[in-house]
Structure 1
């Protein structure tokens, strides 16, 4: 039933979007008007957020950058801070999208609306340096009916192809090489490598000492400072979303055997706090799950980067967030209870088991043991982690394109 409704939604969206897309192409553009969005239009987050904040902290002459969102909460939040924002599903929001000469995204066309920005130059900031294969060659191929339909859409109905863009940002040469195949159907010309630009990910601005984590834009700062003063160690768990496996964060907690009582006891004993940060697609599923546990916290904010800035030990699995965390040179643990299942269904760009960035644990028992060793200053992967960081060759400058 859900699959049928999803397909119907896609069909209606494609049909309705067609005339709007052609209106958008020929709609008069305003030079210098730029729109930006993120996280399917739901949140003020990710690379788009940090690009937007960086922009409004420097010279703004001659340009107009407007955040477009499908969330009235985001509209209220940015309005309260005096920043330009419009609700997409309003006359003003739709008109702004149609008039924009450029659009910045962090996830896909639905960060704004593909049909409304058809005539704009689309810059895809993307949302991480992926571990598993994505897009064409990863999520889909053109050797079956479904793939041929996607190929047709990417070529003839570009407003409906989620990865469509004109320019793609890559944080390293290794990432750029990996992006060539998955984004090969994304651009409006065939100059694939020329369309991929090396640039620092804006969200990693947060890690820089000169970046001001002001409470005006980061109200979570107060909470994070309190955690820092209260606990010896902040342990953050950021599992990747498993939508492609029809699983949620609740399934991951159950399948991995996370015992909240034991984790809470361990954290009390070591004066630590265990912070669970769910992917934004699972953001609203964890309410009440940690009730009664004083040393376990469900992170209440959609943006994980301030949390990472304060994190002492990162636990993740297949999320690209660990590439960003390498910039901080702190311990990383891979908790991969479903490694065989995941690797059987997903192909990787790197040999995951020989990355040598951090230990790969298969249970929470072994994960806790590794955390205990780290707390005793036994970071066995410190040197290897530094070598891998240098190997990936992350760029240290940002190209505005």
Structure 2
């Protein structure tokens, strides 16, 4: 209750003081501000947009990563990129003057950033595509399910509150990975002047220049980084485990002492190294330990490791959709599907239709599925069909050049002398 009251008072201050100021201060087309997830972590689409857009736009356009984390600013400045700590005076002024905002989550609006960026062009590169309902579509379906959330006056009040706080805005561009996701997921979930399907910056999987690649690896877990090439040289398979976060389980994906011992024995037999990456808020994740069981730091980036892995194990996380691009096995551990749908998140699409891989309700079942996958991958065609649906066959390394070209065509950025990318305005159809 206290947090909600403070949030409302903060928004009131923003509307009274900052919104009028933002309406008067002139914006600069040659300044882009990039805001990362969860207080400005250097991960996901925000990270990879900065790494690719900075060299493409220098020296005419400044790309600045604005974050609340000093470790991120220190790392980026040491790597030759621009970064500012928020809410320092310098970053506040930059937000007031920047012509374009790049975000990949809803949290960018917090701590008055919504009001400081009024009148700038807001670009949303949402951090995942899968089968779960998000934003407006999620709230709409929650309200239509009956109970107190469906009361008309309460629905209006909740919607008005989201607009007042800046959680619901009209974006200038919402970008995703395919026409299917654009039309079926993002158009129902956001208000935006434009919707495009140009691909995701994070799905380059190492296809970066050397400076960007070095920076991309700087916030990969250092212990894993120190081991991964030795594992590969020794002929061991690296299997990533990346579950989503929910409140309804006592331990991450049902990992108790007996299960951990089973997994360690299986890894020894199959020459596998299991690398776990949990949500920072996940309970008891630090208890995962074994000779062949390894934990990525909760703040680290998993994407540089993905091309080096042999398979992915997940539950309901949309990370599996990006993993489709690697044409490698994906296995799903879902012991609580009914509970997850009823208590955590509504699914927009049929779970089985959207998950091309074996499903298991226990780890014992899952390792048996994995053994069969090593012998014969029976889901190649299903993964290929979903990959085409999810990415339209578009090479993901073109995502940032296409986004830049789109923004230039809209005159949000200064025009380039020449262009190596064809016009992409047709993607906005």
- 1:116 alignment partner in structure 2: 116
Q: 1:353 to 1:216 in 2, by over 3 A?
A: closer
Matches of 2:22 and 2:11 in 1, distance apart? 15
- C-alpha displacement of 1:324: 0.6
Structure 1: runs of 5 or more not aligned: none
Matches of 2:202 and 2:348 in 1, distance apart? 22
- C-alpha displacement of 1:170: 1.3
Q: Per-residue displacement from partner, 1:229-283 (whole Å, max 9, x unpaired)?
A: 34521111111122xxx357x633348998212111111221211111113554x
- C-alpha displacement of 1:137: 2.7
Matches of 1:333 and 1:379 in 2, distance apart? 11
- 1:16 alignment partner in structure 2: 13
Matches of 2:284 and 2:19 in 1, distance apart? 38
Q: 1:84 to 1:251 in 2, by over 3 A?
A: same
Secondary structure at the aligned position of 1:235 is classed as strand
Matches of 1:30 and 1:207 in 2, distance apart? 32
Q: 1:209 to 1:65 in 2, by over 3 A?
A: closer
- 2:188 alignment partner in structure 1: 181
Q: Do the aligned partners of 2:131 and 2:347 also contact (CA within 8 Å) in 1? A: yes
Q: Per-residue displacement from partner, 1:79-121 (whole Å, max 9, x unpaired)?
A: 1112110001111111111111110001124277212212211
- 2:56 alignment partner in structure 1: 58
Matches of 1:237 and 1:379 in 2, distance apart? 19
Q: Per-residue displacement from partner, 1:350-385 (whole Å, max 9, x unpaired)?
A: 21123351011111111111111123x221111222
Matches of 1:255 and 1:222 in 2, distance apart? 25
- 1:297 alignment partner in structure 2: 294
Q: Do the aligned partners of 1:103 and 1:123 also contact (CA within 8 Å) in 2? A: yes
Q: Per-residue displacement from partner, 1:193-220 (whole Å, max 9, x unpaired)?
A: xx11111100001254888873344134
Structure 2: runs of 5 or more not aligned: 144-149, 408-429
Matches of 1:44 and 1:85 in 2, distance apart? 11
Confirm whether residue 102 of structure 1 aligns to residue 106 of structure 2. no
Q: Do the aligned partners of 2:32 and 2:98 also contact (CA within 8 Å) in 1? A: yes
Secondary structure at the aligned position of 2:320 is classed as helix
- 1:239 alignment partner in structure 2: 243
Matches of 2:227 and 2:21 in 1, distance apart? 47
Matches within 5 A, 1:338-353: 338-345=336-343, 346-353=345-352
- 1:202 alignment partner in structure 2: 201
Confirm whether residue 72 of structure 1 aligns to residue 37 of structure 2. no
Matches of 2:49 and 2:216 in 1, distance apart? 13
Secondary structure at the aligned position of 1:357 is classed as coil
- 2:177 alignment partner in structure 1: 171
> What is the total number of aligned residue pairs between the two structures?
380
Q: Do the aligned partners of 1:173 and 1:394 also contact (CA within 8 Å) in 2? A: no
The alignment's C-alpha RMSD in Å is 2.6
- 1:260 alignment partner in structure 2: 260
Relative to the length of structure 2, the TM-score reads 0.81
Secondary structure at the aligned position of 1:253 is classed as helix
Point out the structure with the larger helix share. Answer: 2
Matches of 1:125 and 1:388 in 2, distance apart? 21
Q: 1:383 to 1:217 in 2, by over 3 A?
A: closer
Q: Do the aligned partners of 1:332 and 1:358 also contact (CA within 8 Å) in 2? A: yes
Q: 1:174 to 1:224 in 2, by over 3 A?
A: same
Matches of 2:89 and 2:3 in 1, distance apart? 27
Choose which of 154, 157, 177 in structure 2 pairs with 1:149: 157
Confirm whether residue 42 of structure 1 aligns to residue 40 of structure 2. yes
Q: Per-residue displacement from partner, 1:262-321 (whole Å, max 9, x unpaired)?
A: 111111221211111113554xx6664134x11111112521211222221101111111
Matches within 5 A, 1:360-375: 360-375=359-374
Secondary structure at the aligned position of 1:297 is classed as strand
Secondary structure at the aligned position of 2:50 is classed as helix
- C-alpha displacement of 1:149: 2.4
Q: Per-residue displacement from partner, 1:320-345 (whole Å, max 9, x unpaired)?
A: 11111110010001111111112334
- 2:131 alignment partner in structure 1: 131
- C-alpha displacement of 1:146: 4.6
- C-alpha displacement of 1:13: 3.0
Relative to the length of structure 1, the TM-score reads 0.86
Choose which of 2, 5, 10 in structure 2 pairs with 1:5: 2
